[in-house]
Amino acid sequence: MKKEGEQTKSDGPIMGFWADLKKPFFVLAPMADVTDCAFRQMIAKYSRHGEEGGGPDVFWTEFVSADGLCSPGREALLRDLEFSDREHPIVAQIFGSHPEHMRQTAALIKELGFDGIDINMGCPDKSIEKQGAGAAHIKDPKLAQEIIRAVMEGAAGLPVSVKTRVGYNTEDLEGWLGAILETKPAVITVHARTRKELSLVPARWELVKRAKELAKGTGTLIIGNGDVQDLADAQAKADASGADGVMIGRGVFGTPWLFDRARTAPPSLAEKFEIMVEHTHLYEKLLGDIKNFAIMKKHYKAYVNGFDGAKELRVHLMEAKNADEVERIAREFLRSATVSDTL
């Protein structure tokens, strides 16, 4: 008798919630020190997730170390896996190079109530690669396959996906994607650059189209990733490449409303500042005891731009030490701007 989550050679991928998504779907990229629980809650609220025309269709966590989750210091890392009821479907992204730790972590993620598990096999950070994880997997397809199968075993029925690049130093889509496809993941997210290219060159979406062709008949869905600005751009890239879905990363900075398909215009400056202040207070409430306040400040460059005085305001915000100071600085700027407009 087949155990739960076990696959035979004739089986296709375990799809779970992925099978129910209307194509093309648009998903939130996992970004370290960005897509934390505070920012995801802001996105869920201001993109009207769960309502008609709202999104994103799938949430992703920041990536979390499987080795760390299997260590005595796991409690702090578990905070990175906290999520609210409004964020379903949500996928937990993990990284690591030890199959047993990845298997144990997958079992933990299922226990925590996630809808899916994603394996990071594309991060170019040197500290991650030194652990044999992230983009380092591209150089060792056999270990990568072992890792994926270990996660599938631990996931016991949850859909497993992989986020990766098109090659390491050079493009090797057929060989590398072929190795992943052999393991029958539900989804492969293709960042359309090599590891060597980082984000220094334009993403090559023609490679996403080729990835879709390579995956034809396998049951595995292909998500394209790279240089996506907004939903209109995502739709255009999906149409051109045939991708089942599109992942949006940098485009969501400072725009938690981005996935709201019904929104026809951005918020006013005053509304944007209210959202920024709300985001800052939520970050401080949920993560202030374990994360440096400086991490929050990377969002201010995106929230504060495109108007007179934006550069000077950002300088002041970068000097703020807490959410109350951010709120005071923002409100003082709005008051002064209003006075100037009436003179």
What is the helix, strand, coil percentage profile of the chain, to 5? 45, 15, 40
State how far the Cα of 246 lies from the Cα of 28, in Å rounded to an integer. Answer: 9
| Integer-rounded Cα radius of gyration of the chain | 21
State how far the Cα of 161 lies from the Cα of 183, in Å rounded to an integer. Answer: 10
* Catalytic option among 42, 58, 123, 286: 123
- 246 near 24, Cβ under 8 Å? yes
Residues with Cβ < 8 Å from 49, sequence gap 6 or more?
43, 55, 56, 59, 86, 87, 259
CB atoms within 10 A of CB 122: 23
CB atoms within 10 A of CB 294: 10
Active site residue 70: no
Residue with tokens 């390579």: 214
- 177 near 170, Cβ under 8 Å? no
State how far the Cα of 232 lies from the Cα of 251, in Å rounded to an integer. Answer: 12
H-type alpha helices, 242-291: 269-287
- 134 near 120, Cβ under 8 Å? yes
Q: For the chain, report the end-to-end CA distance as a whole number of angstroms.
A: 80
Dmax (CA) of the chain: 80
User: Coil, strand or helix: which one is 179?
Assistant: helix
- 295 near 315, Cβ under 8 Å? no
Catalytic residues: 123
